[in-house]
Structure 1
Amino acid sequence: MQIAQQILFILLFIAAVVLFSKKIKQIRRNINLGRDEVISDHPNQRWRNVLLLAFGQKKMFRNPLVGFLHFFVYAGFVIINIEILEIILDGIVGTHRLFAGVLGGLYDFLINSFEVLALLVLSFCAVFLIRRNILKIRRFMSKDLNGWPRSDANYILITEILLMALFLTMNASDTLLQARGVAHYAVHPTGNFIISEHLQPLLSGFSDSTLEEIERGCWWLHIAGILAFLNYLPYSKHLHILLAFPNAYYARLEPMGEMENMPSVQNEVLYAMQPELAPTDAAPPAKFGAKDVMDLSWKNLLDAYSCTECGRCSAACPANSTGKLLSPRKIMMDTRDRVAEVGKNIDKTGEWKDDGKSLLHDYISVEELRACTTCNACVQECPVSINPLDIILQLRRYLIMEESSAPQEWNAMFSNVETNFAPWKFSPDDRDAWTQGG
């Protein structure tokens, strides 16, 4: 019977790792569909961003209470799952609490710490469920999240609560079996743990065989749940648990008000003003701006996959706050949906086949793009350094420079800038006339 369980566990573990690796490889391929962009400057500052923004979740603490809750849910869930290393080895080798005999008193300290964190994770996830579904915080009620995205967030929180409850129940039944001297459980006795011992009165009335079934059931459901969670991550907004780290490292370090210019556009202006500098073999730019996800950079696509859908960007967006169609969160979700669709197209046909759709128009509308004030509020608020504005600017650049699509007011401003070197319609010589007289 023990050998059968070991074989079953090994097969389950291998299947989970293979499926997860396959999906991550697919996501990596999708991100690399974006155009090349070299990001290698200031490595010290980049590692500092990883420590402060990804590990330390610095931006979350602008709201201290929410930052505190989120930090312990995140850190607690990650730290607690260190114990799955022991579970995996126990499952493969057929042992019970393999590390207890090796670590001695340190083992009890670690498991006690894990139990405290498990209780915090369970409690704080319940708080987050209440915020989303009872208090109905405004940014969680946006139509951006209608359908699957709203359910996804709830499923993750419920799953974390169940996993923590299984962990504590497993420990409570395990230590009871140890105290009763049941074979296999008494090999490395640990004594009671700080949280699960309070669950023992609920279990003490069960027979040894029933208690073993409860412990084994919790053990299997806990590890199977974690492996299932691992494979659910790539399909969920909670992929940010993994991608927040590289995204923080590759975040833009330039001042937020500094927009990225296209060298080809700058050169065209320069050559118009100084034709003698123009090379004889200069090739015209292939495309201005971006129409589809392949025109965006790989960093833009990494941003899309890193989006937590928390809505802080949209809550801070002045256009969104005044009822306009723009939602930076939706921009990121639409970009991710489009690149996933392109990836499925490639998987199905072996190569990219034009499906007649594009990110611009089919996913993101002109009205959304024109509502943006380029204030950078969305960039400032994002806890994992996502830049929705960069995508908006590239799509808007394509609209104006490739499709010649701009409101009349914008065209008038462009004309004034071209002829008067300012947005206003008067001669540069008269620019300081307001200082004269009166």
Structure 2
Amino acid sequence: MQIVQQVLFALCFAGAVWFFSKKVKEIRRNIFLGVDENLTDNPSVRWKNMLLLAFGQKKMFKNPLVAVMHLVVYVGFVIINIEVLEIVLDGLLGTHRLFFPLLGSFYSFLINSFEVLALLVLVACVIFLVRRNMLKLKRFLSNDLNGWPRSDANNILLTEIVLMGLFLLMNATDRALQLNGADHYHDTGNFVISGLFASSLAGLSETTLVAIERSAWWLHILGILAFLNYLPWSKHLHILLAFPNAWYARLTNTGEMTNMTSVQNEVKYMMQPELAPTDATPPSKFGAKDVFDLSWKSLLDAYSCTECGRCSAACPANTTGKLLSPRKIMMSTRDRLEEVGRNINANKEFVADNKTLLNDYITVEELRACTTCNACVEECPVSINPLSIILELRRSLIMEDSNAPGEWNAMFSNVENNFAPWKFSPDERDKWAEEMK
């Protein structure tokens, strides 16, 4: 019977790792469909960003109470699942609490620490569920989250509550079996949280306790393996991608926009024709129309988005009722990228589907509403930059499709003819000074 359980566990574990790896490879491929961009300069600054923003969650602490709860959930869930190593080895080797003989009293300290964290995680998740579904916070009521995104957030919180509950139930029945002197259940000492219920469970028969303990053990590890494979389909992929996303963040000053060299050269050659090379080739396209035209970093941003809505809450266009939502920009980019990925999976290469990110997923009205104020970039806790996507799409809209409001076209015409946004001849530019004494 024991060997059957070991084989079954090995199959479940290997299958979960294989499916997870397969999806991760697809996501990596999708990200690198984007345009190459070198973001490896200043490694010391990048390591600092990763530690402060991804691990330390620096920006979250603008709201200290929420930040502490989020940190508890994140750190607690990661640290508690260190025990997964023991569970995996127990499952493969047919042992029970493999590390206890090796660690002795320190093992009890670890498990008790895990239990305190498990309780804190459980309480924090309940509070987050209440905030999302009962307190009616504006950024959680947005139409951006209608359908799957809203369910996704609740699913994760409920899953974490169930997993923490199973962890405590497993320990409580384990401790009850220890108190009853059951074979193979080492006396680890009392557990600080689950031990409160162990004495009341000790009155159950050994067969019942073993059945409960084994069921909780299996459901706990299978739940973790299922959670692992749910992550790549969920916004909670940021648990993994927040770290590389913070490390590869652009280090330019806030508000500094990336100009197209080809456009800069056109202006320079217009001002100084003698500098124009005789063999210059025009750029193939301006800006981005689809995900293939965006930087790979922008595509990594899309997969790293937590859908927390802090960007949209800070966006002045969104606040004043305009259609633009930076969160929706990131979600739409990810949706399009996933669709492109499915296309490649089905056809071995991308086959034109008569869709583009611009127009089919993100509208002209959304792009025109952006004031380029960088509030969304400043607010994002994991260094996502919705503005870079907006600017590239807007460049394509204007420079490729000649689609701009009349007021913008008038300004463009003035810049082209007068080298300034105003309708004055360059020869008259200093005329105002003649009237000064």
Report the TM-score range of the alignment, normalised by the length of the smaller protein.
Answer: over 0.9
State the match for 1:311 in structure 2: 309
Cα distance in 2 for residues equivalent to 1:434 and 1:357 = 54
State the match for 1:15 in structure 2: 15
State the match for 1:244 in structure 2: 242
State the match for 1:353 in structure 2: 351
Cα distance in 2 for residues equivalent to 1:372 and 1:328 = 9
1:353-372 correspondence runs (5 A): 353-372=351-370
State the match for 1:219 in structure 2: 217
Q: Which moved more, 1:281-290 or 1:421-430?
A: 421-430
State the match for 1:44 in structure 2: 44
- Deviation by residue 1:24-77 (Cα, 9 ceiling, x = unmatched): 000000001111111111110000000000000000000111111101110110
State the match for 1:418 in structure 2: 416
- Deviation by residue 1:92-116 (Cα, 9 ceiling, x = unmatched): 0011100000011111111111111
CA RMSD of aligned residues (A): 1.5
Matched, 1:127 2:127: yes
State the match for 1:32 in structure 2: 32
State the match for 1:88 in structure 2: 88
State the match for 1:144 in structure 2: 144
Cα distance in 2 for residues equivalent to 1:375 and 1:431 = 31
Q: CA deviation at 1:275?
A: 2.5
**What SS is found at the alignment partner of 2:27?**
helix
State the match for 1:282 in structure 2: 280
Q: CA deviation at 1:435?
A: 11
Q: Which moved more, 1:105-114 or 1:48-57?
A: 105-114
State the match for 1:401 in structure 2: 399
Cα distance in 2 for residues equivalent to 1:8 and 1:226 = 16
**What SS is found at the alignment partner of 1:224?**
helix
* Unpaired segments ≥5 residues, structure 1: none
Q: Which moved more, 1:190-199 or 1:371-380?
A: 190-199
Q: Which moved more, 1:172-181 or 1:376-385?
A: 172-181
Q: CA deviation at 1:248?
A: 0.1
Cα distance in 1 for residues equivalent to 2:381 and 2:435 = 49
State the match for 2:227 in structure 1: 229
Task: Report the AA paired with residue 170 of structure 2.
Answer: M
State the match for 1:156 in structure 2: 156
Cα distance in 2 for residues equivalent to 1:435 and 1:236 = 65
Cα distance in 2 for residues equivalent to 1:434 and 1:85 = 77
When residues 432 and 181 of structure 1 are mapped into structure 2, their CA distance, relative to the original with a 3 A threshold, is farther
State the match for 2:75 in structure 1: 75
1:364-383 correspondence runs (5 A): 364-383=362-381
Q: Which moved more, 1:226-235 or 1:31-40?
A: 31-40
- Deviation by residue 1:180-235 (Cα, 9 ceiling, x = unmatched): 111111xx320111111112244233211100000000000000000000000000
Q: CA deviation at 1:243?
A: 0.3
**TM, length-normalised to structure 2:** 0.97
- Deviation by residue 1:139-169 (Cα, 9 ceiling, x = unmatched): 0010000000000000000000000000011
Cα distance in 1 for residues equivalent to 2:12 and 2:6 = 10
Task: Report the AA paired with residue 57 of structure 1.
Answer: Q
Cα distance in 2 for residues equivalent to 1:98 and 1:229 = 24
Cα distance in 1 for residues equivalent to 2:430 and 2:280 = 37
Cα distance in 1 for residues equivalent to 2:192 and 2:227 = 26
State the match for 1:109 in structure 2: 109
For these two proteins, the number of residue pairs brought into alignment is 436
In 1, are the aligned partners of 2:179 and 2:202 still within 8 Å (CA)? Answer: no
Cα distance in 1 for residues equivalent to 2:194 and 2:232 = 32
Q: CA deviation at 1:283?
A: 1.5
1:55-66 correspondence runs (5 A): 55-66=55-66
Q: CA deviation at 1:267?
A: 1.2
When residues 330 and 416 of structure 1 are mapped into structure 2, their CA distance, relative to the original with a 3 A threshold, is same
When residues 202 and 127 of structure 1 are mapped into structure 2, their CA distance, relative to the original with a 3 A threshold, is farther
When residues 103 and 409 of structure 1 are mapped into structure 2, their CA distance, relative to the original with a 3 A threshold, is same
Matched, 1:334 2:332: yes
Cα distance in 2 for residues equivalent to 1:177 and 1:417 = 81
**Misfit runs of 4+, over 6 Å:** none
Identity of aligned residues (%): 72
Q: CA deviation at 1:272?
A: 2.2
When residues 313 and 432 of structure 1 are mapped into structure 2, their CA distance, relative to the original with a 3 A threshold, is farther
**TM, length-normalised to structure 1:** 0.97
When residues 431 and 310 of structure 1 are mapped into structure 2, their CA distance, relative to the original with a 3 A threshold, is farther
Matched, 1:176 2:176: yes
- Deviation by residue 1:339-371 (Cα, 9 ceiling, x = unmatched): 100010011011110000000000000000000
Cα distance in 2 for residues equivalent to 1:197 and 1:385 = 42
Cα distance in 2 for residues equivalent to 1:86 and 1:370 = 54
State the match for 1:205 in structure 2: 203
**What SS is found at the alignment partner of 2:82?**
helix
Cα distance in 1 for residues equivalent to 2:172 and 2:258 = 58
Q: CA deviation at 1:427?
A: 4.8
When residues 194 and 280 of structure 1 are mapped into structure 2, their CA distance, relative to the original with a 3 A threshold, is same
Cα distance in 2 for residues equivalent to 1:233 and 1:371 = 33
**What SS is found at the alignment partner of 1:34?**
coil
State the match for 2:255 in structure 1: 257
